[in-house]
Amino acid sequence: MTDETRLWPLVEERARRTPDALLALDEHGRKLSFDAYRTRAERVAAALAQRGVGPGDRVAWQLPGWIESLVLVAALARLGAVQNPILPIYREREVGFILRQAHPKLFVVPCAWRGFAFETFARGLAAEMASEGQPMSLLVCDRALPEASAHELLPWEPGDAQTPRWIFYTSGTTGDPKGALHSDETLGAGSLGVVERFELGPDDRYPLVFPFTHIGGIGMLFVQLMVGTAAVLVEQYDEEKTLPFLAEQGITLAAGGTPLVMRYLQYQRRHPERRLFPRLRMAMGGAAPKPPQLHAEVKAQLGGAGVVSVYGLTEAPFAAVGSPRDPDVALATSEGRAGGGAELRCVTPEGRTCATGAEGELQVRGPQVCLGYLDPARDAEAFTEDEWFRTGDLARLDADGFVSVTGRLKEIIIRKGENISAKEVEDVLYAHPGVQEVAVIGVPDAETGERCCAVVVPEREAALDLAELARFCRTAGLAPQKWPERLEQLDALPRNASGKVRKVDLERRFGGRE
């Protein structure tokens, strides 16, 4: 392991240490070693330099989880460009907003993917921007990037640690996305915390099933380069095909966040005759709240140490990290402890630090926190005067430093003046044997202000009604004012690219909110 946190030096050092070790393989049988990774990245960097891309130039790219995406990241790092990865599910509204704000010199897209004509879409946006005085070049990449001789490349320049090298836009559930500025050092700090807590090494393999353009995808590339871990790339998740493929690859870290961990578990339940991941060391939770029962279920049925979670945001990735050595109660109920040099605190609405175990807004400070926003007007609201980042999450910190996220500040349901935590109700309902997934929202009510509405994905053939859920809540000891007063059932919950439930969609559908 190295304590280097800058991307291009990590690429060179890993190629020197373990040149023939596997960096990545995909569903098409293509493989890439660390040495080949460095070589291809340099050739792609040379070709991009011929197109005029150099240090400080902004390059936006919207690619699936391809080997070429990994190569492009390293090539742009070699040139010292500022990268703006964009989630592949974003379309005209989000991408248009991002490109107009970030104003990249170059935009890299596939010709088409999953039935969507990215090239046509991108050319239309480029024409609009040119007419607005913001010219932008396009590069269409279909599993192939331009290459040239690397002999004429200028030497790599390290730059300053406070120089932004990345612009990541939040994938939140409301409002326009926000562009968080990161350096290699801010990303690398959080990734180093994952390496240390997870005790990862060159024999580990993890699936890259979630979008690589997400900050967690780039963060895990840093992890790979630090220790020589291999990634198994899956560009599109398929309920029945993906997991057998991953099983063949010897996965040791079932990564992807809590929503995917739940899918792994559900598949294992449908196929109890064989262990899905025989070499599994742990499942990696995160990206969305986890029910406390999930850890024990994963440990018993998938194996390994159970669910070991990470906590972070686009603005502060991997701020808290669990360890397979943590006690089961901590793994079940917390997201780990501050990692990668981060500090965590919970504060009251008045800004005072909470007592141990008391609920308050979670704030984070440390080397993985972003350098601010591309729109600096957003900084004042996000940061305190003493440089703590306001996460907007409610949480508790225990005496040992374990952080338990209890909900979002904006996800408190106010019924007759009393606060109800949506996550508390969700945790109770998830334990019902007929509930596969659940999201709790507040819906407007003329008499009570808001009512608690449970939106449930039932288990197959499960018969659920409101009276049954109330009975279950009573048996679980939940206070009567917190019981759901409305039940809605769906085949699947709407989620964003990070796996978080889009509660705003549920509120619009069932609560009539705008």
Q: Which domains does the chain have, with CATH numbers?
A: 34-144 (3.40.50.980), 187-408 (3.40.50.12780), 416-511 (3.30.300.30)
Length of the chain: 514
Least confident of 13-17, 30-34, 235-239, 472-476: 235-239
The helix/strand/coil state of 411 is helix
Q: What is the pTM of this model?
A: 0.86
The helix/strand/coil state of 507 is helix
Given pLDDT bands bounded at 50, 70 and 90, which one contains residue 106? very high
Q: What is the pLDDT of residue 359?
A: 93
Strands, DSSP E only, in 227-276? 230-233, 253-254
Helices (H) and strands (E) in the chain, counts: 15, 24
The helix/strand/coil state of 304 is coil
* Cβ 391 vs Cβ 361: under 8 Å: yes
- Please give the Cα distance from 505 to 514 (Å, whole number): 10
Per-residue pLDDT reduced to its tens digit, 472-493: 999 998 888 899 999 999 999 9
Given pLDDT bands bounded at 50, 70 and 90, which one contains residue 419? confident
Instruction: With both helix axes pointing from N to C terminus, report the angle between 184-198 and 7-17 in degrees, rounded to the nearest 10.
Output: 50
Per-residue pLDDT reduced to its tens digit, 385-407: 999 999 999 999 999 999 999 88
Rg (CA), the chain: 23
Q: What is the pLDDT of residue 180?
A: 97
- Cα angle 311-312-315, degrees, rounded to a multiple of 5: 175
Per-residue pLDDT reduced to its tens digit, 226-267: 999 999 999 988 888 999 999 999 999 999 998 899 999 999
Classify burial at 72, counting beta carbons within 10 Å of its beta carbon; exposed 0-12, middle 13-18, buried 19 or more.
buried
Percent above pLDDT 90 for the chain: 77
Given pLDDT bands bounded at 50, 70 and 90, which one contains residue 1? low
Given pLDDT bands bounded at 50, 70 and 90, which one contains residue 171? low
Per-residue pLDDT reduced to its tens digit, 127-148: 999 999 999 999 999 889 999 9
Q: What is the pLDDT of residue 409?
A: 79
Percent above pLDDT 70 for the chain: 97
- Please give the Cα distance from 499 to 18 (Å, whole number): 34
Q: How many CA atoms lie within 13 A of 197 on its CB side?
A: 28
Q: What is the pLDDT of residue 174?
A: 46
Given pLDDT bands bounded at 50, 70 and 90, which one contains residue 173? very low
CB-based contacts of 350: which residues, under 8 Å, 6+ apart?
Answer: none
Per-residue pLDDT reduced to its tens digit, 300-321: 999 999 999 999 999 999 999 9
Q: What is the pLDDT of residue 411?
A: 77
What values do phi and psi take at 254, rounded to 5? -80, 80
- Please give the Cα distance from 464 to 448 (Å, whole number): 25
Q: Which residue has the higher pLDDT, 212 or 416?
A: 212
Q: What is the pLDDT of residue 162?
A: 83
Residue whose pair of structure tokens reads 């098409």 in the numeric block:
28
- 153 token code pair: 């490349």
Q: What is the pLDDT of residue 421?
A: 84
- Rounded to the nearest integer, the mean pLDDT of the chain is 93
- Please give the Cα distance from 360 to 354 (Å, whole number): 6
Buried residues in 221-251 as b, exposed as e (16+ CB within 10 A): bbbbbbbbbbbbbbbeeeeeebbeebbebeb
Of 299, 321, 303, the closest CA to residue 251 belongs to 303
Q: What is the pLDDT of residue 297?
A: 96
